């Protein structure tokens, strides 16, 4: 059975992992973290989603946001669609929850920058 090639993005080394599609046995990792990364990447890939939301008033027109934790890859389009609909009103603190349970993922969308009221 052909091994699946996965690049580990956990650190700058970027190891080229080879993962067995049935046993999820991982090779090519230069540290133990790559084993879990390779397995998750085949079984249930996750990604942190970032973007910007609209700002109702003030100097900045967009506010950068991120999911607090990685979300399943197949839910990224729903998260992006939710992000496109959001408009916030300052003041906003760094880390403030902009949308709880974004797109039904169970994960919060939070601000990554402070916005002050004008
Ligand atoms: S396997 Fe370990 S050393 Fe290699 S990229 Fe992943 S975290 Fe870095």
Residue 86: phi and psi, rounded to 5, are: -85, 135
Q: Is residue 10 part of a domain?
A: yes
| Per-residue pLDDT reduced to its tens digit, 40-62 | 999 999 999 999 999 998 788 99
Cβ of 33 less than 6 Å from ligand 1 = yes
Measured distance CA(69)–CA(95) in Å, rounded: 12
Q: Is residue 19 part of a domain?
A: yes
Closest atom of ligand 1 to 14 CA is: 5
Q: Is residue 117 part of a domain?
A: no
> Residue 59's pLDDT is what?
83
Domain interval for residue 107? 50-111
**Residue among 37, 104, 117, 42 nearest 67 (CA):** 104
C-alpha 110 to ligand 1 mean position (Å): 28
pLDDT greater than 90 at residue 88: yes
Q: The domain spanning residue 54 has which CATH number?
A: 3.10.530
Same domain as 63, residue 94: yes
Same domain as 32, residue 65: no
C-alpha 41 to ligand 1 mean position (Å): 14
Same domain as 34, residue 56: no
Q: What's the predicted TM-score (pTM) here?
A: 0.82
Torsion of CA 29, 35, 39, 40, to 10 degrees: -100
| Domain total in the chain | 2
């Amino acid at each position: 059975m052909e091994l699946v090639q996965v690049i580990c993005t956990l650190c700058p080394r970027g190891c080229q992992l080879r993962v067995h599609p049935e046993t999820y046995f991982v090779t090519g990792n230069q540290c133990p973290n790559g084993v879990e990364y390779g397995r998750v990447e085949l079984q249930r890939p996750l990604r942190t989603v970032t973007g910007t939301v609209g700002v109702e008033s003030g100097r900045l027109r967009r506010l950068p946001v991120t999911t607090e934790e990685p979300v399943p890859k197949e839910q990224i389009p729903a998260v992006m669609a939710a992000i496109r609909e959001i408009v916030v009103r300052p003041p906003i603190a760094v880390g403030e929850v902009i949308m709880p349970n974004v797109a039904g993922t169970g994960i919060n969308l939070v601000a990554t920058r402070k916005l002050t009221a004008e």
